[in-house]
Amino acid sequence: MSIYGRAYIAGAYEHPGRHLPDKSIAQVHAEVALGAVADAGLTLDDVDAYFCAAETPGFGAISMAEYMGLKLRYTDTTESGGSSPLMHVGHAAAAIAMGKARVALITLGGKPRTAPQRPKFYAPENTFEEPFGLWAQAPAYALAARRHMHEFGTTSAQLAEIKVAASIHAQHNPNALLQKPVTIEEVLESPMVSDPLHRLDCCVVTDGGGALIVVAPEVARELPRHSIKILGHGESPKHTDNGRIDLTYSGAVWSGPRAFEEAGVTPADIDYASIYDSFTITVLQQIEDLGFFEKGKGGQFVSDGALVAPYGVLPFNTDGGGLCNNHPSNRGGVTKVIEAVRQLRGEAQPAVQVPDCEIALANGTGGSLGTRMGSATLILGRES
């Protein structure tokens, strides 16, 4: 069964806060949920399906359903790190297509800036990786960056172009944590975190969150807000393959083609792209893996302003992304979908709104480029 046109994103809301010391994580989830249903023209009483991941407090979906007073007939707690919300959108669309739900709520929220917590799970691989520093994200991504440089001649200056583009966009976002544009030189002169990645190659750490409402077509037709059609969805894990891992690509090499095939479009049809940006190297690998240009040519591609909105070849992350705007709960997938919805509605910041934006892509990764990850791709479209 294809989900093409079987469900719509009717509501999208990003928490405006980036520093929330006086709120609980449950409060953040509830606040973004209320924002998303209001954006859709609905209420929490209309929600019959709820999707969340491991950052949700307590007993996950059950605790939050109780906290928000939700009366549900469907729940999904798929956990894939930063790509979880993108997977949830696809799963919600599938549930709606099967008649299991009509109005699905997806939330993400957390407080890593004011109340940092380690993940709730202990994985079998930790015993082998933690002693060598791979618990922290930066060293694993640095391994991927260094390998990409070795294989394809990618440079630190080329990676810095990605941060520069994000900062150009963030200056127009009043809620972005970092609103000052930066130069390539400033990125390269920032402190080294894990060679070859500098501090400005890394995402921000923020409190906050976001939420989405996915609805059946008959619900979308009755709503006052412009709903966005879900055209295609793909997902895939990538892991170390018993030591045979190739660090130069992400799981998007599988999730992307699946989404494009279901949507019936190609990379050339994409007007705007939300690309997960935990680090600059994350962006470079994904846009290669999604087929926007030949593998290994990403560094050359981003060097001529291709990512800068509104008129770049591939305008990306026009809210400033995880590199400058918001990376709530250290997993920014939900904000990728939210900004894609804004672009398709024509509601992005005017200075970065892509003209006549008809088809958008959102791609998420969760986990690590250097070890294991979950990848998810969404293709979204605007209907007149």
Indicate the domain borders of the chain: 8-117+203-381
Instruction: Tell me what the mean pLDDT of segment 261-287 comes to.
Output: 98
Average pLDDT value over all residues in the chain? 95
Instruction: Tell me what the mean pLDDT of segment 279-290 comes to.
Output: 97
Please answer whether residues 210 and 338 qualify as being in contact, where contact means their C-beta atoms are separated by less than 8 angstroms. Answer: yes
Query: What's the CA angle centered on 332, arms 294 and 352, to 5 degrees?
Result: 70
Residue bearing tokens 């939330």: 107
pLDDT level of residue 199 (50, 70, 90 thresholds): very high
pLDDT level of residue 370 (50, 70, 90 thresholds): confident
Cα–Cα distance measured from residue 219 to residue 47, given in angstroms and rounded to the nearest whole number: 12
Residue 152 has a pLDDT of: 97
Please answer whether residues 272 and 354 qualify as being in contact, where contact means their C-beta atoms are separated by less than 8 angstroms. Answer: yes
State the DSSP code for 289.
H
What single string gives the DSSP state of each residue in 220-268?
HTT-SSPPEEEEEEEEEEE--GGGT--TT--THHHHHHHHHHHHT--GG
pLDDT level of residue 131 (50, 70, 90 thresholds): confident
Q: Is the pLDDT of residue 122 over 80?
A: no
Cα–Cα distance measured from residue 82 to residue 335, given in angstroms and rounded to the nearest whole number: 10
Residue 37 has a pLDDT of: 98
Which of 120-134, 135-149, 165-179, 327-341 has the least mean pLDDT?
120-134
Q: Is the pLDDT of residue 120 over 60?
A: no
pLDDT digits (tens, 9 = 90+) for 17-71: 999 999 999 999 999 999 999 999 999 999 999 999 999 999 999 999 999 999 9
Residue 117 has a pLDDT of: 64
Global pTM reads 0.96
pLDDT digits (tens, 9 = 90+) for 214-258: 999 999 999 998 999 999 999 999 998 878 889 999 999 999 999
Please answer whether residues 257 and 344 qualify as being in contact, where contact means their C-beta atoms are separated by less than 8 angstroms. Answer: no
CATH superfamily placement of domain 8-117+203-381: Thiolase/Chalcone synthase (3.40.47.10)
pLDDT level of residue 124 (50, 70, 90 thresholds): confident
Residue 241 has a pLDDT of: 86
Provide the percentage of residues in the chain whose pLDDT is more than 70.
Answer: 98
